[in-house]
Chain A
Amino acid sequence: MLDSSLQQMGSALRSRKISSVELTQLYLDRIAALNPALNAYLTTDAKVSLAQARAADALLAGGNAQPLTGIPFAQKDIFCAKGWRTTCGSKMLENFVAPYDAHVIGQFNRAGAVNLGKTNMDEFAMGSSNETSHFGAVRNPWDKHAVPGGSSGGSACAVAARLCAAATGTDTGGSIRQPAALCGISGLKPTYGVVSRYGMIAFASSLDQAGPMARSAEDLASMLNVMAGFDERDSTSLQREKEDYARALAKPLNGLRIGLPKEFFAEGLSNDVAQTVEAAIAEYKKLGASVVEISLPNSRLAVPVYYVLAPAEASSNLSRFDGVRYGYRAPDYTDLTDMYEKSRAQGFGAEVKRRIMIGTYVLSHGYYDAYYLQAQKIRRLIAQDFAEAYKNCDVIMGPTSPSTAFKLGEKGDDPVQMYLSDIYTIAVNLAGLPGMSIPCGFGAANNGNPGMPVGLQIIGNYFDEARMLNVAHQYQLATDWHSRAPQA
């Protein structure tokens, strides 16, 4: 059952081969056994999960089930879920119990899904290794000394270790795709505006986008069908006709034009990742696709542009965490300013403080034009690069991350090295395009360390999610990388 697709689980539930309570209990038991070593979940609440499972069983028994009814999911701890502690990986919100449901949570609830718990993440989604979580790093289930990636590392780990049927993530600069790649699972960041941000704790509002993380493209499609849709509570949510993201899965890939950006296969990419990705491209050729070389000349500026814009927005978004109304407040202070300073100094971790300071700096009088405005201009150029590229190809492919999972602590002292692990994913957020990562093999084993998963990134044009899922699914029909599981 743990290796079944969401569709298979759904039919098993509907045909009453297994009840949602049994399935939920199965996962809860696994979490109890494995989570202490993996640290994927920050909060579980068996009582609440099982109550949801019983409600789902009633729906299933009454023949009122939807495709995801009764299936247990993990939710990234960035989504407010009514009655659930919602920490965003921060000491600042260590004791914050959300009084309302995020849109994404509401959508899963309405679909009759079960919430297994809240998954660990980099603090306020700022990080690429999950090491910035106030609640300790998540371990990569393929190698417990390696990072799972970030910021949605807890979700990626939970999916890979079969601690949930699938999970949600959010992606501001690669936070779904990079951990998906490092943990050997599939993850999709939709076009900006496809999934409502309401109730998702903001990091960088113009880049943040929620998406599904699962074991296959087919599962991603089922989840996106539930997560996507217009929400009037988010002004940047897009008003579009409802679509079935699974509708094109079966389409053959004959005639598919794959663009390979030369900038993604240049210096900085490790050999084992390059070879694994090239093998995946070769597989696509076998499936009927053709390959064209493209150029994204401004993509080299994506990381610096991102580290101006994202911190700028974050510095403002995180101002509400001031110790006044909720969240952490320093125990001792002399006056108002002292209360602000101590609460924020003690409540935020180092990486969050670093980004607040960068963001405050680039928005300051006298620096705004040189940094923020300039970065916005380059952001448009980066989007134009993609628009130009899509004249000659249908999807763009390349590595998701320049290397496989690195060791815990390996990049801890060097933020720039850490930032570079998102070098291929960030441009996609800046352009607002949909991007995904699917497992395409394993890197080199060395020094007795196992070869770690490699992710293939697929970047689509705006609203091409159904096409991308088709491209990923056809590959997964022809290969079995996505069904490999780490040893428990």
Chain B
Amino acid sequence: MTWEIVIGLEVHAQLSTNSKIFSGASTAFGAEPNTQADAVSIALPGVLPVLNKGAVERAIKFGLATGAAIAPRSVFARKNYFYPDLPKGYQISQFDLPVVGNGELTIHVPASGKTEAYEKTVRITRAHLEEDAGKSLHEDFHGMTGIDLNRAGTPLLEIVSEPDMCSAAEAVAYAKTLHTLVRWIGICDGNMQEGSFRCDVNVSVRKPGAPLGTRREIKNLNSFKFMQQAIDYEVQWQIDTIENGGKIHQATILFDPDTGATRAMRSKEDAHDYRYFPDPDLLPLDITPAMLEQVRATLPELPQAKQARYMNELGLSAYDASILTATREMADFFEAATNPSPALPLSGEGVITPPLTRGGREGFAGIEAKLCANWLLGEVSAQLNRDGLDMAQCPITPQQLGGMLQRISDGTISNSGAKEVFRTMWAEGGDADAIIGAKGLKQVSDSGAIEALVDGIIAANADKVAEYRRGKDKLFGFFVGLAMKASKGNANPAQLNEILKQKLAG
């Protein structure tokens, strides 16, 4: 018996504004409890909300990035319920008129054991602005509950998808793509541990062709790994339940990472009547075409467009292009490193930032894209991994890396020399040229010097030369080794080979 899985996601992305959505209090994470709770955050009598424009701009940005319609007029509504960390007794949210309408997101589902990698487009139903609640602290208060209202009023964008995903893999791919996008366009820091990106997953199963099954909602998943585990467990549980003659009841459930199981938190019967109505303290949110254009102008090139450009214009492989566009930091680093630093000698006048090129030798050109990609995905990523750093914390600047790549391209240093430059740069900093000079890593490409060096070796090893000339070809490597050693590794290897071959031939 086969079952079809139906999954939809609700993601709460915390918007990266400095102040709260309806007041000037700070949104910084990790402050002492209630030090970022102003009169509005604690809902003193008489205080009123004032909408933070930065939150609206970020919502618009998201809408534009997903090809969604931005509502010219949307409305804030009150969602009424009592909870100690909800200071007003209602949450200001958007209900029937959200700011962002239908959009879509193309996801790349990686290959798994049975299936090849594929692309899929997931429809986004809506995205709306709302405020976060505070936190109830149940530990350390000896039978009482502590309330921290620092988070109360933090701006959230709730992004609701259609139930378009059919597997845990698709759900995770969607969540990851969304996670990349919100960081890429700079509206959310994506920090899942701090709760900046929280996922609720609606799961149901049905027989192919049957109407949608009853769904259960897994709340507050804060890692992709847990999401995968939770969905896998939940799907199996639902199938088992039905196959054993049971029925699925609508419920909100939690995933316990320690047991790997899901458990019901509350059933539909306890569902609140939230008594939504338009918030009379806030005017409808009107977004003018001018405001829309203003925000559009700040929208960066999106990852998928960038990826296509890297492949078509720079000739990079699909794999390289996808890794280079996995994060905004990586792409920015790549683009900065491939543009020669103004400090390097340019063949034009003044400081020109040349466009990215495929490399080659068109004028002064940029650093070869493929060379840069190799280094970024190779040495740089490996070192970052080793040191447990992310791209933003990379001790080498793109300009420094670019400077070194320039010296590889123009033959100043060999690959082995480059590795030493890189190691030094990573540990101590400094520009490539300075390191090359200080360490004497400049490749010897002067044929006179190499000839003199080779002559000396031939003279000092007459017996081995004789053996070689009698046909013991294997000894060639021995002579290369000696010559390289004599040059302290700086001899241009191709040149050295050629001269050695010539001289040994007699």
A residues apposed to B, CB below 8 Å: 79-80, 86, 88, 93, 96, 98-100, 102, 197-202, 204-206, 232-236, 312-313, 315-316, 318-322, 324-326, 336, 340, 360, 363-365, 368, 372
Contacts and interface: CB of A to CB of B under 8 A. Distances in A.
B48 A320 contact: no
14 contacts: A200-B46, A204-B280, A236-B281, A318-B89, A319-B80, A320-B45, A320-B87, A322-B89, A325-B43, A325-B87, A340-B82, A363-B276, A365-B275, A368-B275
B226 interface: no
B282 A316 contact: no
Contacts, number: 97
A236 B278 CA distance: 14
Contact of A316 (B44, B46, B273, B275): B275
A99 B39 contact: yes
Given A80-B44, A100-B44, A322-B89, A312 B277 contact: yes
B366 to A, nearest CB: 49
Interface of B: 39, 42-51, 78, 80, 82, 84, 87-90, 145, 147, 273, 275-277, 280-283
User: What's the dominant secondary structure at chain A's contact region?
Assistant: loop
Nearest to B81: A319
A300 B283 CA distance: 28
Given A99-B39, A206-B280, A363-B277, A319 B82 contact: yes
Contacts of B78: 316
Contacts of A199: 46-47
A336 B87 CA distance: 14
9 closest residue pairs by CB, A with B: A319-B89, A206-B280, A363-B275, A205-B280, A199-B46, A201-B45, A320-B43, A80-B46, A365-B273
A35 B208 CA distance: 79
A324 B147 CA distance: 9
A88 B45 contact: yes
B50 A233 contact: yes
A447 to B, nearest CB: 43
A235 B277 contact: no
A93 B45 contact: yes
B50 A232 contact: yes
A320 B275 contact: no
A354 B46 CA distance: 22
A325 B45 contact: no
Contacts of B39: 99-100
**Most chain B CB neighbours (cut-off 10 Å) among A313, A318, A319:** A319
Nearest to B51: A235
Contact of B47 (A198, A340, A364): A198
Nearest to A93: B45
A89 to B, nearest CB: 12
A326 B84 contact: no
A372 B277 contact: yes
B87 to A, nearest CB: 6
Given A80-B45, A198-B46, A320 B51 contact: no
Contacts of B45: 80, 86, 88, 93, 96, 98, 201-202, 320-321
Contacts of A201: 45-46
Nearest to B149: A325
B184 to A, nearest CB: 32
B396 to A, nearest CB: 46
A144 B296 CA distance: 67
A319 B78 CA distance: 11
Nearest to A340: B82
Contact of A320 (B89, B147, B283): B89
Contacts of A364: 273, 275
A10 B51 CA distance: 40
Contacts of A198: 46-48
B46 A235 contact: no
B88 A319 contact: yes
Given A235-B282, A316-B89, A322-B82, A197 B275 contact: no
A100 to B, nearest CB: 6
Contacts of B88: 319-320
A201 B47 CA distance: 8
A313 B89 contact: no
Contacts of A326: 44
A234 B48 contact: yes
Contacts of A235: 48-51, 281-283
Nearest to A324: B84
B292 to A, nearest CB: 21
A313 B278 CA distance: 10
B268 to A, nearest CB: 13
B88 to A, nearest CB: 5
